[in-house]
Amino acid sequence: AQKVTQAQTEISVVEKEDVTLDCVYETRDTTYYLFWYKQPPSGELVFLIRRNSFDEQNEISGRYSWNFQKSTSSFNFTITASQVVDSAVYFCALSDYDKVIFGPGTSLSVIP
Amino acid sequence: SAVISQKPSRDICQRGTSLTIQCQVDSQVTMMFWYRQQPGQSLTLIATANQGSEATYESGFVIDKFPISRPNLTFSTLTVSNMSPEDSSIYLCSAIDRDRGGETQYFGPGTRLLVL
């Protein structure tokens, strides 16, 4: 069965600190996708990144970076120099081409 | 990326009534999905809306309570039937958009439902 675990329920950081959100997944499939979504207080789900299971390259996009390690089934998300606008709930998700399973989410508060 | 709209954006309903939520995608998509997000919780998949066939429901969700229509490749509706306060949630429509790199699931803005 597929499962996504985000062990951190809530994180608070002071503005400009770096923060890493953890994601651990379980799947029997050899081919799958991993995602990160952001849900700000307004409620809409914003797609951040997709990673194919065959592509273990880490990715950086501005202040965001993602570390995919298949050996540990982890897909962690780091925000560098956090800003107040980063305050949101972040969901890690797993897809096997059929449906997407979401983790429980991590609520990030960035304090000015 | 697919752009998804939902109507209504929010509603307040009385117990025992039904509400139909509409979802429109700006491009043809094969797979559309309906999720529920209860307050403070993650997203739970209700069903996959298949064009030309019945929806596929996840465990704990039944067609009588959440009938779904999918008349074409850009549109779907979800009805929340015989509502109770426990149905108060955000209901989100999503669709899979495929490109060269693979597939990504995009979401509509959600419908916030409060049942009194």
Residue B45: which domain range? 4-115
Q: Which residue has the higher pLDDT, B96 or B65?
A: B65
Q: What is the pLDDT of residues B45-82, one digit of tens each?
A: 999 998 878 899 999 999 999 999 999 999 999 999 99
Distance CA B112, CA A43 (A): 9
The architecture that CATH gives domain A3-106 is Sandwich (2.60)
Do B103 and A44 lie within an 8 Å CB cutoff? no
Provide mean pLDDT across the span B102-108: 84
Is A100 near chain B, with CB under 8 Å?
yes
* 3-state SS, residue A27: coil
Provide mean pLDDT across the span B85-104: 86
DSSP assigned state of A71: G
What integer best gives the mean pLDDT of chain B? 92
pLDDT of residue A97: 65
pLDDT of residue B51: 82
pLDDT of residue A100: 85
pLDDT of residue B105: 84
Do A105 and B109 lie within an 8 Å CB cutoff? no
**CATH code, B47:** 2.60.40.10
Number of domains in chain B: 1
- The residues, ordered by sequence, that sit 6+ positions from A85 with a Cβ below 8 Å of its Cβ are A110
Structure tokens at B100: 């060269």
Report the candidate in B73, B81, B34 with the shortest Cα–Cα distance to residue B53.
Answer: B73
pLDDT of residue B88: 96
Distance CA B82, CA B84 (A): 7
Phi and psi torsions of A86, nearest 5°: -80, -10
Under-50 pLDDT residues of chain A: none
What are the residue boundaries of the structural domains of chain A, listed by start? Answer: 3-106
Chain B residues whose CB is inside 8 A of the A36 CB are: none
Q: Which of residues 55-94 of B touch A (CB under 8 A)?
A: 90, 92, 94
Provide mean pLDDT across the span B92-107: 82
